[in-house]
Amino acid sequence: MGRALKNLQSLLAMPYGCGEQNMLLFAPNIFILLYLESSGQLTPEIRSKATTFLVSGYQRELIYKHDDGSYSAFGMSDPSGNTWLTAFVMKSFSSAMKYIFVDQQYVDKAKDWLGLQQQENGCFASVGQLFHSDMKGGVSDELTLTAYITAAMLELGTPVSDPVVEKSLTCLKSNFTQLNSTYSTALLSYAFTLAEDHQMRLESLNILDEQAIVTAGGRHWSRLNDGKTLDSLEVEMTSYVLLSILSGPQLQGFDLGYCASIVRWLAQQQNAFGGFASTQDTVVALQALAKYSAVTYSPAGTTVVTVTGPSGNTLTTFTVNQSNRLLVQESSLQQTSGNYSIRAEGNGCVLVQVSYSESVESDSQSSKLYFSTIKQACFEFVHMCHKKRSRGSDGIVILNHLKSFINCKLFLDF
């Protein structure tokens, strides 16, 4: 978490925008606070700034609440609330209660509305439109939606005996043998862990263990021919596996050493600000890393890390103790080629990373926007062409025009 904490100014953000955009910025603030509080390192300055953002985001999100307790991108302007967004708001509001005032009725009404979307087989129906489809991560069908909502309700402290949760778990169990994606298995594993279903938890973790990709860089999980190209999905599913292991009793073969190999890989996927590729993988990954950090946190202990160069000489020494454990210590390697060795002595938990950057040719398949103007009489029309990756459809395109331009009519064709 050190790099994330170093860049709190970039990770902590003031929420704004529509009901979806607002939650994209609201949620990450919560899990930074959760980690700092669980490890006894939350300073008054950080708490004050983060809670200010949370209060603003909470109040703004209520603008997009429907009278029935659900939420959507534009609130009452939309025909109905969206199932996934409502679950995300419910989960986030409940977590934020530790730091700001959140009226319990908003969490309860969201939960009640979700219960009304449950079908006879226990699965939840996808209702309403989600414009920013990537914000829900790998939740792409009825089963993963049900697993996400079930886990969210269990995180609230809803008992397994609750009729809605009981029926949703029946849906998950009855479809478990038909799972055909690693993401689904990881998400269901987390739901079974929170439900304290030890048999289903162990069965799903054993399946995931067989599918794990183990390298010198750690342990992670990948997509299995799902035909999609979303780089953040691996981070999200790997984080759910870590949450599954840490949120229940310890299982043989899944100890802290196993978790450390997962954390090692996750740390390598962090961007320069300590976040990840998208909002959902950042939220889930920070939640998992916060839980791991809380488990391994020790208020005492000093570790000395020595870096030795190709010729055997000591290049640099890092000392990590209680006074500087939040500090990211860095040193440049003057010679990039050769064999380096790293030795750690003492007590505590530290993470060593080697970072490098290089110039690469731009990806021709990434999303692009093309603009052109056509003069017609005394008017000027702007034509826009949007090229994107092949994952679902986009519902929102933000176009900021020049001050001298006037919007007459906008035609959209998706």
In a domain, 412, yes or no: no
pLDDT at 317: 93
- Determine what percent of the chain is predicted with pLDDT higher than 70: 76
Global pTM exceeds 0.85: no
Query: Tens digit of pLDDT for each residue in 203-219?
Result: 999 999 999 999 887 99
In a domain, 409, yes or no: no
Domain boundary among 346, 370, 404: 346
Residue 244: is its pLDDT beyond 70? yes
**CB-count burial class (<10 Å; 0-12, 13-18, 19+) for 237:** buried
Instruction: Read off the pLDDT of each residue in 333-355 and give the average, rounded to a whole number.
Output: 81
The answer on 77 and 57 residing in a single domain is yes
In a domain, 59, yes or no: yes
The answer on 184 and 124 residing in a single domain is yes
> Whole-angstrom Cα distance, residue 363 to residue 311?
39
Instruction: Give me the domain span that covers residue 281.
Output: 2-296
In a domain, 292, yes or no: yes
Instruction: Read off the pLDDT of each residue in 28-40 and give the average, rounded to a whole number.
Output: 78
Query: Tens digit of pLDDT for each residue in 139-164?
Result: 888 999 999 999 999 999 999 999 99
The answer on 96 and 9 residing in a single domain is yes
The answer on 279 and 333 residing in a single domain is no
Query: 116-125, 188-197, 246-255, 405-414: which range is least confident on average?
Result: 405-414
Q: How many domains does the chain fold into? A: 2
The answer on 340 and 225 residing in a single domain is no
> Whole-angstrom Cα distance, residue 208 to residue 249?
17
The answer on 93 and 186 residing in a single domain is yes
The answer on 323 and 194 residing in a single domain is no
The answer on 328 and 208 residing in a single domain is no
Q: Which of 95-104, 259-268, 292-301 has the highest mean pLDDT?
A: 95-104
> Whole-angstrom Cα distance, residue 27 to residue 284?
10
CATH number at residue 146: 1.50.10.20
Residues with Cβ < 8 Å from 93, sequence gap 6 or more?
58, 61, 102, 106, 107, 110
**Confidence band of 227 (pLDDT split at 50, 70, 90):** very low
> Whole-angstrom Cα distance, residue 24 to residue 18?
10
pLDDT at 231: 65
The answer on 318 and 226 residing in a single domain is no
Query: Tens digit of pLDDT for each residue in 49-59?
Result: 889 989 999 99
In a domain, 93, yes or no: yes
The answer on 339 and 245 residing in a single domain is no
The answer on 253 and 104 residing in a single domain is yes
The answer on 201 and 328 residing in a single domain is no
Query: 284-288, 296-300, 324-328, 373-377: which range is least confident on average?
Result: 373-377
